[in-house]
Structures are given as C-alpha cells and as structure tokens.
Structure 1
Amino acid sequence: MDLEHGYFLTAGNRIHLYGNDEGQWAIVFEKNGYQNRAARAEIELNYIGNCIGYSIEKHGEINYISNTHYIVLIDGDEFKRIENKEGSDLETFEHIGEHVKDIKIRNQFVPFNSNYKDYEKAGIKLENFDSGRRLIGFGDLLRYYNEINPSLLYASEDEIKMHIPKKLKKIMTIDKFHYDREILPSKQETYKMIAKVLVTRDSSYWKPALPFNNHWSNWESGNM
C-alpha cells in the first residue's frame, strides 16, 4: 500500500487480517481516494498471502496476473456531471460546481456539502483562486467523506474477500497504524505485530507503541 502515490490522492486506508487453523492466511490492504489519471474515485485492494486467488487479465496472447483489485466509487461520467463549468481553466478542472446538490457514489446519491468552511474545519486545505471563489476539489470531497462518514468509502466484507477463500476467518481490521515507506517491512513494528497476529490468530498481540501516522494529512499524494 502506497500512501504517497503521485497519481492517487489518498483519503482513507485500512489493513485486514485473515487466517485459519489449516495455515491459510491473508493480508488485505485497503485504501480509497481519487485516481487523478483515470478521473475516478476508487477503492484499491492489495492482497498478500498463501491462499490468494490472483486476478488474471488476458491481452492478446499475454496473461497479466495481479494481486490488486479496484472498485469504482465515483465514475468519470459522474465527475463530468458535477464538475464546475464556470470560471477560469483552473476553476473548471477537477472542482465541483457550487450548485450541485448530490453526488452518486456507487448506486446511491449522497448530499453534497458545498460549504467550504466545513472542509477547512476537517483539516482540508482548499485551493485559493484569484476570483475569491472557494470550490471543492474532487480529492477534497473524498477526504471530507473520510472524515465525516468513512464507511461510505469502505469496501464491504464480500468485496474484500473476492480473492481469498470465503470461509477464511477475519482476525481483525486495523484502522490506525504506523507507516514508514523507507524501512523494510521486516524491520517495522507494524509488520512484526501483523506477523504475530497472523501466526497466533490472536488480535491481542496488536499493541503498537509507535504513533499512528497513516492518516492522509501526514503524506503527500495525488500531486502529479
């Protein structure tokens, strides 16, 4: 899981741990946010384990095997519908129109809050335009939902288990953890404890001492 991906503006993230008495285990890394090159909001699931049903895509005569699965939250057509259409080029690029009332996330319409002050209260820094307008960016929207209603952006349990055995038992979900992309996983407290939890199938071994830093505000992402 990369919390500093240049093409993916991260909103939320979690880690799911699964295992059973037969020795099968799986880690599912989940993150959501705005994919700025594909112009859609999505969930990205990364699978690691010894019982993964890897996805296979065939292009011509070549098979591509992947441990990643994507779930679209807001598609490109919906972003086109809600995109601001008045003002400068910057104001009409990846910003939401002030008169939009709701936004389709998956198959449900969710009320849109255009009050920029609520976003700033949530720690989201909005872009300042010369015109003085305070428009909500596509990525800002996802981060705001992550703050006020994160379950709206989460994958369901059935979706998470799409590439692992259905009967594999969940041990725990980790919402807050210490993340460090500069240190090998084998040297990190987070992954050492994850390994202990998986081996014992006992969530009580999750006792982090390092400060949690996986919140989006601690990392630069989606800036390319």
Structure 2
Amino acid sequence: MKRAFIVYMLFALFFCKAQNYTETEILDQLDLAFNGKPSKYFPQKKSKEIHYNFFLDLEHGYFMTAGNRIHLYGDGEQWAIVFEKNGYQNRATRAEIELNYIGNCINYSIEKYSEINYISNTNYIVLIDSNEFERIENKGGSGLETFEHIGEQIKEIKIRNQFVPFNNNYRDYEKVGITIENFDKDRKLIGFGDLIRYYNEVNPTLLYASEDEIKMHIPKKLKKIITIDKFNYNRTILPSKQDTYKMIAKVLVSRNSFYWNPTLPFNNHWSHWESGNL
C-alpha cells in the first residue's frame, strides 16, 4: 500500500509539472510565428521598436537553402523549438546558419540602432564571410562566369576559422543531385550556393551549429529531447493543422522522443524546394 502511494505521488508530481505548458499552447505559438506575429513571450513593445517572429522558410528567395534541422528542448517549466537551416545568403554574399527560436523561455535577439531597435527570434552565424567569397570568386581570366562562381585555381576555402579542401570537379556535385550551370561545353565552375549544398551532402557537420551556439538564446541547462533532421514540411498549412507539429508538441509536453513517429514522407531536403532564386 505504501509503495503504491509513493508511485501515485511520483506520477502526480510528473503530471503536474507537464501541465505547466500544453500541446495547444505550443501549437498556438507555432501558428503565430508561421504568420509572422510576435507572441505574448516577446518583451513588451516600446516606441521605436520593431518585433519580428520568424518561422522556418525553405523557399526564401534570398537564401539558397542547403541543410536544416529541428531541435526540441524542455523540462517541467520551459520549452523551446529551434529551427536550424544553413545555406547561401545571396544578398549579403555570405554562407550562414539561421536559427529561429520559438518557446516560453527565449532570450530574444536585439539589434540596436540610433533611430530604431529590432527585436527578433532569430540569430545568424556566419560560415563563410563576404571577404572569403571575394577571395575565391572567379576573376575572369578563364573566360568563364565570374559572378558568384569559384575560380578554377582555388584549392581550399575558409569556413569559420578553418581551411577546408575545395573540390572543383563538377561531376562530383552532379552525382549528389546538384545541377551545375553549363557556361562552357567542357568546363563548369562551382557556384557559391552549389558549394554549400555539396558540403551538406558530403560533410554536413561542417555546416551545423554547435550545441553552445544553438543554446545562445535559451537557458543553458534546458535539456535537449531530440534533434529532427528528416520531416515533412508544408509552408501553406498552419502548424496546428499539421501532423509534424502536432507530434512535436506531444514530444515537448511528454519530454519523450518516443512520440516522434512520422508517417508522412520526408521532404525537407533542399532538392524539394526552390530557394535563392531572387
């Protein structure tokens, strides 16, 4: 009898903790980000402030998507979803990681300017900066395309603080599904976006955010439940109406990855989406 009472009390404590946030609340917060509307967890808006609440976007016209993942964190009091994607940002001429944070414990990023402040749920991590792309860009001596294409003589490329060997054999890119523009019958240069997609196929960890980077805007002690790298993505239907996010909400509330059991086809790979085309 005593043992049964202890088991009951433990269950009750766990159940009560789990009720500090619900599946409905999580789905509501996802819907707000999906529609670009800040949630109640954003700081109170002041004058000369603009608030942005972003959702994972695999078809962004200015961002040539390569890899993407979803990270789930939670305990009895707090929860967080972190969307991660990497690729080539063609308006800024840099390769970067974009992290979008949704949850009840987000330390929102703030960009302060003299006239206005921007508060958002997004953080960017540069993989290859504009100076490095300028260094490796084809200078025109070969008679081939120059804009956003890598010179034939380049042997290595600096990603973050390390130099990585550069493979300029376009056939290896085509083997993993990357279409290389044909500027010359027998010679093809690798585009900036092609490079990031190739690394995503052959060495994806090179492009991943570290755990410390992912947790820059959530509590350091918040426990990771699961990282999801294959899922069904649909940018036309509210998250609250999609099985993908219903399962995510269930995983967060239960804090059990067992509930991630997708049945819809995975389509989050870059090859399913048109991006970086503007």
Scaled to the shorter chain, the TM-score interval is over 0.9
1:146 aligned residue: 200
2:230 aligned residue: 176
* Counterpart among 110, 118, 129 of residue 64 in structure 1: 118
SS at match of 2:206: helix
State how far apart, in whole Å, the 1-side matches of 2:144 and 2:276 are.
16
2:161 aligned residue: 107
Structure 2: segments with no counterpart, 5+ residues: 1-55
Amino acid in structure 2 at the alignment position of 1:17: L
2:252 aligned residue: 198
TM-score between the two structures when normalised by the length of structure 2: 0.78
Equivalent pairs counted in the alignment come to: 223
CA offset digits 1:127-185 (Å, max 9, x no partner): 01146421100000000000000000000000000000000000000000000001110
2:66 aligned residue: 11
Of Structure 1 and Structure 2, the greater strand share is in 1
Which structure is higher in RCO with an 8 Å CA cutoff and minimum separation 6? 1
State how far apart, in whole Å, the 2-side matches of 1:89 and 1:57 are.
42
* Counterpart among 39, 57, 71 of residue 2 in structure 1: 57
* Counterpart among 170, 173, 194 of residue 116 in structure 1: 170
Which stretches of structure 1, 4 residues or more, deviate above 3 A after TM superposition?
87-90
Amino acid in structure 2 at the alignment position of 1:192: K
Amino acid in structure 1 at the alignment position of 2:260: W
Contact 2:144 2:184 in 1 (8 A): no
State how far apart, in whole Å, the 2-side matches of 1:125 and 1:92 are.
18
Amino acid in structure 2 at the alignment position of 1:162: M
2:243 aligned residue: 189
Contact 2:72 2:81 in 1 (8 A): yes
Larger radius of gyration: 2
Quick check: 1:86 aligned with 2:140?
yes
Quick check: 1:45 aligned with 2:132?
no
TM-score between the two structures when normalised by the length of structure 1: 0.97
- Identity within the alignment, %: 82
Of Structure 1 and Structure 2, the greater helix share is in 2
